[in-house]
Structure 1
Amino acid sequence: MKPILHSERLVLKVLDESNAADVLEFVLRNKEFLEPWEPKRSEEYYTLDYQADLLAKEYSQFRKRELYKLWMFRKEEPDQVIGSLTLSNIVYGVFQSCHLGYRIDQSAQGRGFMTEAVAAVADYAFYELGLHRIEANIMPRNKASLKVAEKVGFYHEGVALNFLRINGVWEDHIHMVLRNERIE
């Protein structure tokens, strides 16, 4: 069953290939805005077929409990995607950890939506998935993203030099961590 998370102003849900047009609209609308923060994208990425294939792959990973990509909608506008949050590299067993990535629509930034969404997804990761640790790697110049993580309670655990290739350049990242201290 696909999870649907609700917060005060948002609905977060797993999508599949049937939602490719909505996701493509989000991707196209935010192409220039997201470019400095994401991997270099091919032109094919900005097509309906590519987004449908990507959503199908992500849904398959979701069914295997390997990846949880939740798409963000405002309750006031339930048909327009305004962001996504991804729990990836999920490891169970003794590690019980994952990585968190997130992105938001340019028109929705600065209104606390992402902070609200990250808090909801962290609760889901801890209390539904039983994870102990969420790691977010954020470029030092991405002040807005760092602020979101800090507001939710993530702490700075170190810096990874030349960690991820973002928009064609190897970028340093601050390693931010949130731990579930209530899990035994």
Structure 2
Amino acid sequence: MQPIRLDIPEQFKTDRLILRAPEVGDGAMVNEAIRESFDALSQWMNWAVNLPEIEETEESVRFNRAKFMLRERFMFYMMEPITNRFIGTCSFVKVDWTALKFEIGYWIRTSAAGAGYMTEAVNGLTDYAAQHFGANRVEIHCDPHNTASRRVAERCGYHLEAVLVKSAVDPFKQIRDDCIYAKVRLRDGALGYPV
């Protein structure tokens, strides 16, 4: 398979959200959400060490747009359809085309947390992986102490497959453990976990 040849949708809908690929000019709205949520993000996200300027966020937007087009990484922006308000990202942050394995990463702006949006987005992205990529495996990695992220994975039916001891680095450059949640392709073709 040549991933660059894949014709895949750059946008899809869930019940309450539109998830779409980054577009040039999105930097200001993404930066606003990062600034609102920086205290929460800086606890868990290695990229949230310094508060970015709008121009830096726009560079990131364009980089993620390019990675999407190259089929190397798939950033999706979570948008409220009526207000067109940016509320976070839910993305395939790592892609292994040989094994058809995809890792989902996500964050949500503080003012939108607790409303079930992330659970909805992760379920939507999991379906996207099955439908458009024929995924064999989808993973979610998170810090064991990040209870909000763990709850999302569990509500979406992901199975805690392992806690890897001292296998990751946190934003403060401290070695930490890493929870790995997974869904795999079952015999009936659905993504789930054998019991």
Structure 2 letter corresponding to 1:15: P
Structure 2 letter corresponding to 1:60: A
**In structure 1, what is the equivalent of residue 138 of structure 2?**
134
Give unmatched runs, 5+ long, in structure 1. Answer: none
The CA deviation string for residues 58-103 of structure 1, in whole angstroms up to 9 with x for no partner, is 111111111100011122321x21110120221113x100111110
For residues 47 and 175 of structure 2, what CA distance do their matches in structure 1 show?
11
**In structure 2, what is the equivalent of residue 153 of structure 1?**
157
* 8 A Cα contact 1:17 1:53, kept in partner: no
Q: Which of 1 and 2 has higher RCO (CA within 8 Å, sep 6+)?
A: 1
**In structure 1, what is the equivalent of residue 5 of structure 2?**
none
Change beyond 3 A, Cα 1:158–1:36:
same
* 8 A Cα contact 2:12 2:19, kept in partner: yes
For residues 2 and 54 of structure 1, what CA distance do their matches in structure 2 show?
21
| Cα drift, residue 40 of structure 1 | 5.7
Change beyond 3 A, Cα 1:41–1:10:
closer
| Cα drift, residue 163 of structure 1 | 2.5
**In structure 1, what is the equivalent of residue 68 of structure 2?**
62
The CA deviation string for residues 13-43 of structure 1, in whole angstroms up to 9 with x for no partner, is 1113311111111111111121111116454
| Cα drift, residue 49 of structure 1 | 1.6
Pairwise CA RMSD: 1.7
Q: SS of the residue aligned with 1:60?
A: helix
The CA deviation string for residues 121-158 of structure 1, in whole angstroms up to 9 with x for no partner, is 11111111222111111111111211111111110111
**In structure 1, what is the equivalent of residue 120 of structure 2?**
116
- Is 1:91 aligned to 2:96, yes or no? yes
Residue-pair matches, total = 180
- Is 1:15 aligned to 2:22, yes or no? yes
Bigger fraction of residues in strand: 1
Correspondent of 2:182 among 170, 177, 183: 177
**In structure 2, what is the equivalent of residue 35 of structure 1?**
42
Could you tell me the percent identity over the aligned residues? Answer: 24
Structure 1 letter corresponding to 2:156: V
TM-score norm. by structure 1 comes to 0.91
For residues 162 and 74 of structure 1, what CA distance do their matches in structure 2 show?
38
**In structure 2, what is the equivalent of residue 105 of structure 1?**
109
Change beyond 3 A, Cα 1:17–1:162:
farther
| Cα drift, residue 174 of structure 1 | 0.9
Deviant stretches of 4+, over 6 Å: none
* 8 A Cα contact 1:159 1:173, kept in partner: yes
**In structure 2, what is the equivalent of residue 72 of structure 1?**
78
* 8 A Cα contact 2:129 2:135, kept in partner: yes
* 8 A Cα contact 1:17 1:51, kept in partner: no
